[in-house]
Amino acid sequence: MTDSAPRTGFTVPPPPTGPDPLTGAPGDGFGGWASRTVAVCRRSMLPGVLLLGGATVVPAAAGAVLAVAMFDVVGSAGPNEPPQLPPWLFPGFLALYVVAGYLYAAGFAATLRMMARDAYGLPRDFGATVRFGLRRAVPLCLWYVVAGVLIMLGFFLCVLPAYYVEIVTAMIAPIVVFERSHALRRTFRLMHRDFWPSVAKVLLTTLVAGAFSMVGAMVIEIPVFVSGVLGIRDGATGLHLDPVVTLVTSVVGMLLLAPGTVVVAAGLLTGYAELRAGEAGVTGADLVDAAT
């Protein structure tokens, strides 16, 4: 492991003692993974929220603006008149989706790198971490697209194959961050090394993230609730959203999602590190060196 000289970023807790903070001790089981995941979250929650929140705030604000514009157009139409959507609306949402996906992938990759460094008490170099995430974002997005296509095909094959593919492709992000290539083949191979415990770990972290998602989704829906239930309307022809309320709740809602995503990243990182240790004797320090 290299790069121990202090650089930019706020103070990191000192490196832990005892077993490897990412791979753990051999045979420590599900409880050991849970303990390592909690430790990673405790050390990296705040900077992780900053990275992931920063990656989602701008797309959330842009999406709020587009949503207000769309509701204004729909609400201004007469009761028997179809709304005339502006020609830029669909391309705008499509461009926003692409940019949001890229920034989210960059934030997730950067968070994985930062967590691995935090586990060993290395300084937080946010500039290098963000640049690293931006470099990994494009391949990560492309692999996610491939996984998404396979999941869609699985839904056409009696649904259950889709859930299987969704679970076994969970390791795509750490593989892209720490190995860079053959992500789809590698995630299938790694997950099947210890399949059922790995499934349980993925499902547990997903449930935690789902709880945060529910809270964030409820906050994001506040403008529609306020406009529809409390009767804040522009005339009687349709629903209009308040721009300020929509913007604020969209940004706050995305920020509330960030802690859940940090938990997912921590669970995937420690689970991936444990699988790599069992496969080839890889240590957490090797992963730190790989994420350069």
pLDDT score of 98: 94
Domain count, the chain: 1
Q: Is residue 197 part of a domain?
A: yes
**Domain-located, residue 31:** no
Contacts 24+ apart (CB under 8 A), 30-39: 30/197, 30/200, 30/201, 33/201, 33/267, 33/270, 33/271, 33/274, 34/204, 36/270, 37/205, 37/263, 37/266, 37/267, 37/270, 39/119
Quote the domain boundaries for residue 214.
Answer: 40-77+85-290
The reply to whether 257 falls in a domain is: yes
Those residues of the chain that have pLDDT short of 70 are: 1-18, 74-83, 223-241
Q: Is residue 5 part of a domain?
A: no
**Cα-to-chain-centroid distance, residue 151:** 18
- 122 phi, psi to nearest 5 deg: -75, 150
pLDDT of res. 224 = 62
In a domain, 209, yes or no: yes
218 part of a folded domain:
yes
According to DSSP, the residues that pair with 233 across neighbouring strands are: 239
pLDDT recorded at residue 232: 47
The sign of the dihedral angle between the CA atoms of 292, 9, 258, 191 is positive
pLDDT at 231: 47
Cβ distance 168 to 191 under 8 Å?
Answer: yes
Is residue 13 a part of any domain in this protein? no
Residue at 11 is within a domain: no
Contact of 3 with 119, CB cutoff 8 Å: no
Task: Report yes or no on whether pTM surpasses 0.85.
Answer: yes
